[in-house]
Amino acid sequence: MAISRRRFIVLGTNASFGGLLVYTMRGIVSPPSTPAADAQAGDANSDYRVEDHDWAYVIDTAKCIGCGRCARACKRENNISPHPEYNRTWIERYTFTDDGEVHVDSPEAGINGFYGEELPEEARGKKITKSFFVPKICNQCDVSPCVQVCPVGASFKTADGAVLVHKDRCIGCRYCIQACPYGSRYLDPDERVADKCTWCYHRITKGMLPACVEACPVGARIFGDLRDPESEVSKTLAERRVHVLKPELGTKPQIAYLNLDSAVQ
């Protein structure tokens, strides 16, 4: 009985010699044929020229109100499982108390907002000194651990700055999920392949904004093309002081933050 290459690789990884087979196949399987292959972007604009763009994303934590509209919009747009453990974007709440402790929570990934949500148990009854929200998404790292560890070339970086997953190539080994230091990847419960934020690649290749950016009511999320010096994201990065998460890891995250507190990881 004939089996597909993807099925063959999956069977191989489950065999006693699976590790050797995957390593060997890594040298055999070629990378996606085009920089913006059909990895979660099959309906991209056919006239889109990947080499003509350099996308960038900035998040302003001082503006975020923790409403959860971004996370809900992402799930709707990308047909993500409704369960809170599967998210391409989520919101964390940072609560500081007068004993010097920092308490971080994200009830249901912030999908339904934080209004009426109780503080983390360990913070209750203490004096709150400050609190704020931090949206999180895939950092689209320039030096991507997820791309480096993928044994079959399913994870790859495009010339316009996005890190994508070629679902037809992914074997669901979870190596990339374990390698991501930002917790940005998960295994799709239905397709059993790795999934993550793509900046709504199917939208931006048609001149649209990512769903989360469009849904934000306070402008906390800024997205645009660095090739356009007049774009808001270009001016923000040129004129404002920004920070990235875990810079010491050397992954060179392409998601920049305004007003990022040093306690945020």
Q: CA of 206: how far to CAs of 1, 203, 209, in Å?
A: 42, 5, 9
More confident residue, 34 or 207: 207
**CB neighbours of residue 21 within 10 Å:** 18
pLDDT band at 117 (very low <50, low <70, confident <90, very high): confident
pLDDT band at 11 (very low <50, low <70, confident <90, very high): very low
Predicted confidence (pLDDT) at residue 5 exceeds the cutoff of 90? no
Q: What is the pTM of this model?
A: 0.84
DSSP string, 151-197: TTS-EEE-TTS-EEE-TTT-----HHHHH-TT---EE-TTT-SEE--
Q: CA of 84: how far to CAs of 35, 133, 189, 193, in Å?
A: 31, 17, 12, 18
Share of the chain above pLDDT 90, in %: 80
Question: By the 8 A CB rule, do 148 and 157 touch?
Answer: no
**CB neighbours of residue 171 within 10 Å:** 24
pLDDT of residue 44: 57
Q: Strand pairing partners for 138?
A: none
pLDDT of residue 35: 47
Predicted confidence (pLDDT) at residue 45 exceeds the cutoff of 70? no
pLDDT band at 40 (very low <50, low <70, confident <90, very high): very low
Q: What is the pLDDT of residues 50-84, one digit of tens each?
A: 999 999 999 999 999 999 999 999 999 999 999 99
Average pLDDT of the chain, as a whole number:
87
Phi, psi of 96 (to 5 degrees): -105, 135
Positive or negative CA dihedral for 230, 258, 165, 42? negative
Predicted confidence (pLDDT) at residue 28 exceeds the cutoff of 60? no
Cα–Cα distance measured from residue 61 to residue 250, given in angstroms and rounded to the nearest whole number: 23
What is the 3-state secondary structure of 192-240?
A: CCEECCCCCHHHHCCCCCCHHHHHCCCCCEEEEECCCCCCHHHHHHHHC
Cα–Cα distance measured from residue 248 to residue 227, given in angstroms and rounded to the nearest whole number: 28
Predicted confidence (pLDDT) at residue 89 exceeds the cutoff of 90? yes
pLDDT of residue 32: 53
Predicted confidence (pLDDT) at residue 21 exceeds the cutoff of 70? no
Domains of the chain in start order, with CATH, are 1-30 (no CATH), 31-265 (3.30.70.20)
More confident residue, 120 or 178: 178
pLDDT of residue 202: 96
Q: What is the pLDDT of residues 222-239, one digit of tens each?
A: 999 999 999 999 999 999
Positive or negative CA dihedral for 160, 181, 113, 242? negative
Tracing tokens 């849904």 back to the chain, one arrives at: 215
Cα–Cα distance measured from residue 78 to residue 197, given in angstroms and rounded to the nearest whole number: 9
pLDDT band at 43 (very low <50, low <70, confident <90, very high): low
Cα–Cα distance measured from residue 97 to residue 122, given in angstroms and rounded to the nearest whole number: 10
Q: What is the pLDDT of residues 175-223, one digit of tens each?
A: 999 999 999 999 999 999 999 999 999 999 999 999 999 999 999 999 9
pLDDT of residue 109: 97
pLDDT of residue 47: 85
Question: Which two three-digit tokens encode residue 224?
Answer: 């645009």
CA 242 to chain CA centroid, Å, is: 19
pLDDT of residue 6: 45
